[in-house]
Amino acid sequence: MARRRRGNTLAEIGEDRLLAGLMSELSSSPEVQVGPGDDCAAIRLGGRDWLWTCDAQIEGTHFDRSWMSARQLGRKAYLVNASDVAAMGGAPRFCLVCITAPSSMARRDVLAMQRGMAAAAAADAAIIVGGNIARAGELGVTVSLLAEAPRSPLLRSGAEPGHAIYVSGRLGDAALGLASLRRDRAAKGLAVRKFREPTPRLIAGRVLADERLASAVMDLSDGLLTDLKRLCDASGVGARVEIPRLPMSRAVRAAGVALALSGGEDYELLCAVPAQREDALMSLRDDLGCSMTRVGVFTRANEGLVLVEADGSTRAARAAGFSHFGSVQRPTR
């Protein structure tokens, strides 16, 4: 392994720059419809289109074992993958699972983890078809999910200036739940539940794709500002977000809007909707399985990311959500 040079550690370059460097070295093939850089890859195999994603839950990075049961951890390991599938309008089908665990871990906990994962997958008509187990110092669960693709997968790259910004559900609950668990591992309530058990917006994603309601979509895993910046970069646009419009619970509002802007783990959908599709979106809102709130508008790229306060004043937004290896890290250390 290479000796560490200044400016070359993962902490120094951060997650997004690391990914950009890795992606630039990958090759493609005619079967690849959507390559790296979106929520899932899209591939055509045997005359059918598939979405393919993977995501990990790692002890010390994503969770502390005192915050959730083994069954809840298994559920969450599946659900965060399903959220990536929802973001492209797909339907989950097959999972592979890689578990890394210390030798001291109880067998019943590994079984409970698998059962939680299998039950969550079954609720979406998906199944676990295999995997791998390896010994490690910390507990980790990685799921790779294969899903049926819609006719036109939702991508991050289609937003244009003037398209409205919509988010599903509410923002900040999971971050508030995480903050509660850090203070008191016995904490309960809706916010804690939202942290332990995200709700992938599979129905909304499917409707958005089938009805061609959105020009760009991604799921919110690392905080609105961080992920909005990613969508803006992929689409070549800027964005104006109106703070008073952000859908937040009273508890999140009281705890501070930063939870909704940068808290992370919302697993809601961030969508760009062309003006001429907004009426159609509203007419289908009862079919989405969640609320959809207009929170701003996409602008030209040179306008950057701007936050509009209740009094109309504006300020440039600084993305401060979660980044693996970067300066803003979550949650246990």
| Interface positions with Mg ion (CB under 5 A) | 39, 84, 219
In the complex, the smallest distance separating the C-beta of residue 266 from Mg ion, rounded to whole angstroms, is 11
Beta carbon nearer to Mg ion, 101 or 225? 225
- How many Cα atoms occupy the beta-carbon half-sphere of 114 within 13 Å? 15
State the helix-helix crossing angle for 107-123 and 70-86, rounded to 10 degrees. 30
In the complex, the smallest distance separating the C-beta of residue 221 from Mg ion, rounded to whole angstroms, is 5
Answer whether 131's CB lies under 8 Å from 144's CB.
no
Beta carbon nearer to Mg ion, 59 or 219? 219
Beta carbon nearer to Mg ion, 149 or 255? 149
- Three-class SS of residue 280? helix
Q: How many CB atoms lie within 10 A of CB 104?
A: 5
In the complex, the smallest distance separating the C-beta of residue 112 from Mg ion, rounded to whole angstroms, is 26
Radius of gyration of the chain (CA): 19
> Element (H or E) spanning 230, and its range?
helix 224-235
Beta carbon nearer to Mg ion, 101 or 292? 292
In the complex, the smallest distance separating the C-beta of residue 144 from Mg ion, rounded to whole angstroms, is 14
Structure-block tokens of residue 326? 């970067």
Pairwise CA distance, residues 230 & 216, whole Å: 11
In the complex, the smallest distance separating the C-beta of residue 326 from Mg ion, rounded to whole angstroms, is 17
Centroid of chain to Cα 210:
21
Beta carbon nearer to Mg ion, 81 or 215? 81
Beta carbon nearer to Mg ion, 70 or 165? 165
Pairwise CA distance, residues 178 & 331, whole Å: 8
In the complex, the smallest distance separating the C-beta of residue 137 from Mg ion, rounded to whole angstroms, is 27
Beta carbon nearer to Mg ion, 49 or 84? 84
Structure-block tokens of residue 52? 């393919």
Could you report how far apart the first and last alpha carbons of the chain are, in Å?
Answer: 26
DSSP string, 161-192: TTPEEEEES-SSHHHHHHHHHHH-TT--SHHH
User: Residue 331: is the preceding peptide bond cis (ω within 30°)?
Assistant: yes
State the sign of the Cα–Cα–Cα–Cα dihedral 128, 132, 135, 137.
Answer: negative
Question: By Cβ distance, which residue is nearest to Mg ion?
Answer: 39
Instruction: Look at the chain and count its residues.
Output: 333
In the complex, the smallest distance separating the C-beta of residue 292 from Mg ion, rounded to whole angstroms, is 18
In the complex, the smallest distance separating the C-beta of residue 219 from Mg ion, rounded to whole angstroms, is 4
Beta carbon nearer to Mg ion, 101 or 216? 216
Answer whether 266's CB lies under 8 Å from 202's CB.
no
Structure-block tokens of residue 117? 């994962």
In the complex, the smallest distance separating the C-beta of residue 218 from Mg ion, rounded to whole angstroms, is 6
Beta carbon nearer to Mg ion, 220 or 273? 220
